[in-house]
Structure 1
Amino acid sequence: MNRFYAIGLLALFAIIATSANAASVNVCEGVSDNIFIADVTNCSNYYYCNNGQAIAQQCRDSLYFNAASQSCVATSSGCLTCDKDVLNSTALIKTCNKYVLCFAGTPVLQQCADNLQYNPNLRACDLPRNVDCAADRCSIYQDPQNIVYVPSVSACNKYFICMNGLPQNQSCVSGLYFSSDCNCCDLPANVNCTISKSSSRSVSLQTAAMIAPRMVDIKCPIEGINFLAHRNPNQYFMCVNGKGALMTCAASLYFDKEVGACRRLEDIQKKH
């Protein structure tokens, strides 16, 4: 993009206050107890989640934290690396609504707005029914006498059972819905499930390549993380320490300049 053209456009855009940076995102918000979350800035550090609070921890003996195994290991193969020449994002393991944007070599922790979930296939925040994530509910330290059941957000007859720290897909027999009251399958009349067939999981025509962020030559604040609105309501600019990128929301989502995130139109229109 031509620099002068970009600057001319920015005269029409509103500069949004900073931002969702690593310091403002609580990695343990909405995450069950006894789950460990990686510190994206240091591979030897991690967080222990307890009552929604992130308690800083550190691996000993020069070990590295591996989020997939939820343990400290000798190899750094599971560590996050951000290529300075590549702009992309990746899920923050053991969370459903948080992700890491690798921005010109800098890891930037981000959180989806509302109850949206990060879609690893699109590499963007998406409607929960298109993701149906339950990873943030399953700890490896589970009580065999207290099985954890997680209802699906895409279908009334589906649910998850946590096993060895991972959610296992389950389905009720035909005609029954999963009930959180009894952690069992029951008659639909006895289950308060509001997921309609029209709102169930759908195949998106979008791909990660179609909405992939790309670096653009725009005038950005020299320091910090800032968001700039775009004339296309489905897009926005993101600035990190003077460098800018054009970002695109997933289908059915629009950029909210007040929140600095992609949201449903009905959520944007709600009175605060």
Structure 2
Amino acid sequence: MIKHLLPLLLCAGLAAATISSFCPAEGIRRFSLPRLTTRFVQCTDGIPTLNECEPGTVFDSRLELCAVPVVETAAAATDDSSGRIVECPDDYDPERATYIRHPTLCDVYFICVGGIAHQQNCPPGTYFNSELKVCDLPEKVDCAIHN
């Protein structure tokens, strides 16, 4: 596996000597690749694998997952009355991102990182599924509000 991954990593700008140093011996970690925004390396118990994000998403190294590029940040994710659309939980866990659906738009959701809500938009024709924490077909999503 690593012999097939090595040329790709080298092409992406990673030296062979760093492969073992950036993959922890235990657990799962994901790392971005220089100049390749839609690809990332997933290390599982010290073994690296090259992965590609779904179309329309890029790898977010802060979240360690593929996401729709952020259109608006928390500063812009406000409404006129209360000042905030969603409230991120205080118990931030970098291993588990918090996803919150927009209260009035079925195809918009937020990813909370360090207490800051980052707005994400589902691809056209899909709604955010709060149970699965993914964008899904409208008929599979319980969303009484239609946008």
TM-score (norm 1): 0.29
Higher radius of gyration, 1 or 2: 1
Q: What TM-score do the two structures reach when normalised by structure 2?
A: 0.49
Q: Which has the higher contact order (CA 8 A, sep 6+)?
A: 1
